[in-house]
Amino acid sequence: MAGLSRRSVAKGLAALALPNAAEAQASGALRIGFGSCARQTKDQPIWDAIVAQNPDLFVMLGDGVYADTAHPERMRAAYRRLAEKPEFQRFRAAVPTLAIWDDHDYGANDAGGDYPMKEESRRQFCDFWGEPADSPRRTQEGGIFTAMTLGPPGRRVQLIAPDLRWNRDPENSSGGWWRMARQYMAGRIFPDRAIAGPYQTVDDPSAVKMLGASQWAWLEARFAEPADLRVICSSLQVLSEGTGWEAWEQFPAERARLLNLIGDSGDVILLSGDVHYGEISALARPGVGPLWEATSSGLTEVWAVLPPNALRTAAYRGRNFGLLTVDWSAQRVLIEVKDEAGVTQLAEAVGFG
């Protein structure tokens, strides 16, 4: 897939399918990079390290810019600043990209369905990442969710990218916590303690939603399609438990519905971003092996503290990106979280099939 053009990637995204290139299939491996949280006002040498890994595809898991505005021109300025970075220009010329958004490129910190500029935000997001004019992502009900499939039967990788912002209800926040949140995240208070963030699970799990009915119908239809490996690309962590920050756990009915949809399948890997550290988590499933999640965040952002997560197996605090290497001959996925120089800091080999 190394020879794939940006034009063919855009065509593939619009059609929800991407033809695999002969190089990747002949080698018996497919390489998918992933990452999140790239503040446009900071230096970004990490893009060159990503290009050096020669990924066949890169998944931007959200916060591609930090716009945080309800003013269209300020959002355009954020995208312009990212586009002007030479490292990012080299990356875009070399690596096909599938992008989803999180709160900061959607428009505001922790924003949901009540964000007032979401149609304008969708237009600018789709323009920046090269969505075709007739792409469903520009007009469909429920936001920018998308899916694509790489490869022929026997080597089909399906990537599923939901939209966790467009329809999302407000979260249940213990609001007083925010007065000290910035100091905690910078490590100026409680630097050696893992303290949960401000969000709490609501008493009635069915009272809050993220996806909405139309997106759930779409997601369930994707699972009905044939695939040899499914990769769910979530802007927020799916498996984390007890962090107190934005995650699927704040929407327990929807998290349970997703985990039920995955079921006992041994062919699903979860990717996520948002948290400003790299992490690998695992949910034990007796008799079928664990469900694995790889979190990569951030490309520029680093928290000085590490919040709790009951399902964490390993973590890395430093600028990072992720790499999945799908080895078809071994029926194995190598999950890696790499630092700014491209050195592996976390790794887990996971069988599938």
Residue 122 predicted with pLDDT over 60: yes
125 versus 180: which is more confidently predicted? 125
Q: Read off the pLDDT of each residue in 306-323 and give the average, rounded to a whole number.
A: 97
Mean pLDDT of 173-183: 68
Q: Which pair of tokens denotes residue 350?
A: 């996971």
Residue 191 contacts by C-beta under 8 Å, 6 or more apart in sequence? 304, 305
pLDDT tens for each residue of 236-245: 999 999 998 9
Side chain identity, residue 82: L
Dist CA 102 CA 234 (whole Å): 9
* Residue 44 pLDDT > 60: yes
Phi and psi, residue 178, nearest 5°: -65, -20
Eight-state DSSP code of residue 207: G
Residue 17 has pLDDT above 70, yes or no: no
Instruction: Answer whether residue 6 shows pLDDT above 50.
Output: no
Enter the pTM of the model.
0.92
At 189 the pLDDT is 81
- Whether the pLDDT of residue 185 is over 80: the answer is no
Average pLDDT of span 190-204? 80
**Nearest residue to 348 via CA among 328, 322, 329:** 322
Task: Kindly indicate the confidence band of residue 186, based on its pLDDT and cuts at 50, 70 and 90.
Answer: confident
Best CA proximity match to 269, nearest among 295, 291, 296, 247 = 291
> Which residue segments constitute the domains of the chain, with CATH numbers given?
6-351 (3.60.21.70)
Task: Give pLDDT tens digits for 63-104.
Answer: 999 999 999 999 999 999 999 999 999 999 999 999 999 999
pLDDT of residue 41: 98
Work out the average pLDDT over 146-166. 97
Residue 20 pLDDT: 44
CA distance 277 to 317: 5
What would the pLDDT profile of 256-266 be if each residue is shown by its tens digit?
A: 999 999 999 99
How much is the pLDDT for 27?
Answer: 62
- State the pLDDT at residue 12: 37
Three-state DSSP at 78 gives helix
**With bands split at pLDDT 50, 70 and 90, how would you rate the model's confidence at 19?**
very low
* Three-class SS state of 63: coil
Does 317 have pLDDT greater than 50?
Answer: yes
- Does the N-terminal peptide bond of residue 142 adopt cis geometry, omega within 30 degrees of 0? no
Across the beta sheet with 291-295, what order do the strands follow?
146-150, 157-161, 229-234, 268-272, 291-295, 278-283, 312-316
> Residue 206: its pLDDT value, please?
72
Distance CA 336, CA 38 (A): 19
Please report how many Cα atoms fall inside a 13 Å half-sphere around the Cα of residue 92, on the Cβ side: 15
pLDDT at 178 over 60: yes
- Contacts by 141-145 with C-beta closer than 8 Å and gap 24+? 141/212, 141/214, 142/166, 142/167, 142/211, 142/212, 142/214, 142/215, 142/218, 143/118, 143/167, 143/215, 144/100, 144/101, 145/100, 145/215, 145/218, 145/219
Query: What are 277-302's pLDDT values in tens digits?
Result: 999 999 999 989 999 999 999 999 99
